[in-house]
Amino acid sequence: MKNKVNIFRKITLLMLSLVASSFIVSCVGDELFRDDLPDSNSQIDTRLPQADFSYQADVIDYRKINFTDLSVESTTYLWNFGGSATSTLQDPSYTFSGEGSYPVSLTVSDGNGASDVITINVEVVEPEEPEALIPVILEPGFDNGNNSRDVWRNSALGGVIQITGSNGYYEGNNGAKLPSPGSDRIGYQLISEFSPNFDYVLTFKYRMKDNVGSDNGLLHVKMLTATDNPADIVANTVASVTFSEAVAGTSELITGTLTFNSGTNTSLAIFFYNEFDEAYIDSFEIDLQ
């Protein structure tokens, strides 16, 4: 009976040892291999990279093309713009030599080493110059008499022009007269619808009157940015021309011109006035140079 009890105890101890060993091995195995097991609900990556891109010309330089990557499932990028010109940026820019069709390739890869490539012919085209606007001058020939004066009035800068119908001093029906200084008469008209950064030419007819004993007269014609302040005339002048009685003479109407660039302006003012002697001006026209 004693031997049976000892055998039972030995079997019990052996079973407990086996259970403990199994637990230890299980814990160590979990620790060693847990990072090798897939997470719950994990799936094999079956999506391969697919290359694609778009492009657009730069607003300042049409030869410079800005590229935008549209690829999926990609982490690295290799662009080829022709020859040895390449880039590894995701969204690069490249300046071509001029107009033409250029094959551009994009090769993309993912973290597993899978790759894809696409080639698109990039069209580089110089944009057409926009048509420039030709502004309209109101009452350019003063042909409606005194009714023509209102559009040329700016009381802050000087008195309004007079209208003349004296033979030889106008074209058409009437012309503008600037009497001998003292009344400080001026002409001013703000004109809209200039196209920015275009060259224009203002033409007109003018004539001086020779008053005995007076100095040689001067006629000033300017293009200004808008102002009602005499102190701003110099700073606001875009272009200016001065005609002298000593050079122009006084016998007939002659053609005067003023060329200028509109700069960033969409509106500019014609401004004219005289010094020392009477002057006449008529038949304003404006056109592209």
Tell me what pLDDT residue 33 has: 43
In a shared domain, residues 151 and 102: no
pTM of the model as a whole = 0.59
Q: Residue 174 has which token pair?
A: 């009437």
Count structural domains, the chain: 2
131 within domain boundaries: no
Q: ∠261-262-263 over CA atoms, to 5°?
A: 90
260 within domain boundaries: yes
In a shared domain, residues 71 and 115: yes
- Which parts of the chain sit beneath pLDDT 50? 1-8, 11-16, 18-21, 23-38, 40, 42
Query: How do beta strands 159-160 and 185-192 pair?
Result: parallel
Tell me what pLDDT residue 171 has: 95
In a shared domain, residues 153 and 279: yes
> At 248, which CATH number?
2.60.120.260
In a shared domain, residues 98 and 149: no
SS (H, E, C) 35-96: HHCCCCCCCCCCCCCECCEEEEECCCCCCEEEEEECCECCCEEEEEEECCEEECCCCCEEEC
Tell me what pLDDT residue 231 has: 97
In a shared domain, residues 65 and 200: no
Residues 6+ apart with CB under 8 A from 52: 69, 70, 71, 72, 106, 118
Tell me what pLDDT residue 248 has: 82
> At 87, which CATH number?
2.60.40.10
220 burial via Cβ count (<10 Å: 0-12, 13-18, 19+): middle
Tell me what pLDDT residue 43 has: 52
278 within domain boundaries: yes
DSSP annotation of 130: P
109 within domain boundaries: yes
Tell me what pLDDT residue 180 has: 85
3 within domain boundaries: no
Q: Which domain holds residue 68?
A: 53-124
